[in-house]
Amino acid sequence: MQLAEKLAINWRSRLQTDCPSLDLSIQESIVQWLLGENPERLNELEATQQDIVEQAMDYRYRILLQRYLYTGPDRAYRNLIQRLGSLFLIRNSIRTGIALSRDRHRSVVDVLQEVIHLLLQKDRYMQQQMDWIRQCTQDSRMRNALLLTSLEEYCLRPIRNKPLLIYRFVNYLRQSQRGGMTHIPTGDFIKLVSEEVAPDESEGRVSLLDDEAINQYQDEQAWQELRELQAEVQKRLEDYLVQRNIDENAVDWLRLYLQGHSQEMIAKTLNLQIKQVYRLREKISYHAKEVFATRSQPELVSEWLRH
């Protein structure tokens, strides 16, 4: 039996157990949505990939069951906003963005709704999801539940240990820098979610929140975070070397070494013999790796002082 067929049977059985009151056509639409537009692709996956796909399906299913399946459109939408807004990283990022903008009167919920609204309008992945949901079911309530589930899962996908929604918010800030944050009419979003799964967009529209923008921001952010981390760890390591009185030249050696100078150049700069510099290196490396690194960024310190 092919994997796609096996998964379909398992999900039908699980839905009949978990949701016996649901109409069979609704149960079938959920199975179809979980398997995706091209279920045959599942038959070509390796064992490890199959496990990941099954875990992703289970994660989506649990979101649907917990917050959206048996809930009316208005309440389901509030569940989404409450879920996203309750996460510290998202809430803190939006608060910081508001504080730095010209629209400091805006609330976190207002801005969060606007970011989600733009995401639904302009994000290619979510547009594909809306098209797929429309193919899975004609039931407006079910469409709404599936869309909100897809939105939550997508917004919370981890990218460099941060939810994807944070990167969408950063792109939103970039687009709103000139005109300031704007306000969308209350109620339009509910109409979009519950009645119009496929928004009426012109073809060929360019997404301002696409993968290229995310990748650019990720690279910049990761590099900045790494530099800040390196500076912080280097300062703590220098303080440690001074406190332990490792050598009067220890801090100077570390700074020159991290700047990329060779041992010969360091010996010349510090006016030391090359043998002294190598002994100093061994002494610092031992203390840094065996003592200091056990309490502070061992991977980073080991990478710095690798032989």
Radius of gyration (C-alpha) of the chain in whole angstroms = 27
pLDDT at res. 37: 85
Of 169, 199, 229, which one is at a domain's C-terminal end?
199
Whether 136 and 231 share a structural domain: no
Of the listed ranges 20-29, 92-101, 205-214, the one predicted with least confidence: 205-214
pLDDT at res. 135: 94
Instruction: Give the pLDDT band of residue 144 (cuts 50, 70, 90).
Output: very high
């073809």: which residue's tokens?
A: 203
Question: Which whole number is the average pLDDT over 293-306?
Answer: 54
Instruction: Give the pLDDT band of residue 129 (cuts 50, 70, 90).
Output: very high
Strand pairing category for 162-163 and 158-159: antiparallel
pLDDT at 167 over 90: no
Distance CA 235, CA 229 (A): 10
Between residues 275 and 222, the one the model is more confident about = 275
At 178, the amino acid letter reads: R
pLDDT at res. 305: 54
Instruction: Give the pLDDT band of residue 280 (cuts 50, 70, 90).
Output: confident
Whether 52 and 195 share a structural domain: yes
Tokens at 198, concatenated: 């496929």
Of 144, 169, 199, which one is at a domain's C-terminal end?
199
Whether 194 and 222 share a structural domain: no
pLDDT at res. 148: 94
| Residues forming beta bridges with residue 158, ordered by sequence position | 163
Q: Is residue 174 part of a domain?
A: yes
Q: Is residue 206 part of a domain?
A: no
pLDDT at 15 over 70: yes
Q: Is residue 245 part of a domain?
A: yes
Question: Which whole number is the average pLDDT over 99-127?
Answer: 80
Tokens at 235, concatenated: 């300062």
Q: Is residue 183 part of a domain?
A: yes
Mean pLDDT of the chain: 77
Q: What is the pLDDT of residues 63-81, one digit of tens each?
A: 999 999 988 888 999 899 8
pLDDT at res. 253: 84
286 closest CA partner among 297, 302, 272: 302
Q: What contacts 24+ positions apart, CB below 8 Å, involve 257-265?
A: 257/281, 257/304, 258/234, 258/304
Distance CA 148, CA 106 (A): 24
Total structural domains in the chain?
2
Q: Is residue 209 part of a domain?
A: no
Sign (positive or negative) of CA dihedral 91, 95, 101, 104:
positive
Whether 222 and 117 share a structural domain: no
Distance CA 38, CA 132 (A): 11
Q: What is the pLDDT of residues 150-161, one digit of tens each?
A: 999 999 888 777
Of the listed ranges 66-70, 202-206, 246-250, 260-264, the one predicted with least confidence: 202-206
Whether 173 and 262 share a structural domain: no
pLDDT at res. 233: 72
Distance CA 207, CA 213 (A): 10
| Residues forming beta bridges with residue 163, ordered by sequence position | 158
Whether 90 and 194 share a structural domain: yes
pLDDT at 245 over 90: no
Residue ranges making up the domain that contains 189: 3-199
H and E: helices and strands count for the chain? 15, 2
Whether 265 and 190 share a structural domain: no
Whether 79 and 177 share a structural domain: yes
Whether 117 and 228 share a structural domain: no
Whether 82 and 122 share a structural domain: yes
Between residues 87 and 104, the one the model is more confident about = 87
Between residues 226 and 18, the one the model is more confident about = 18
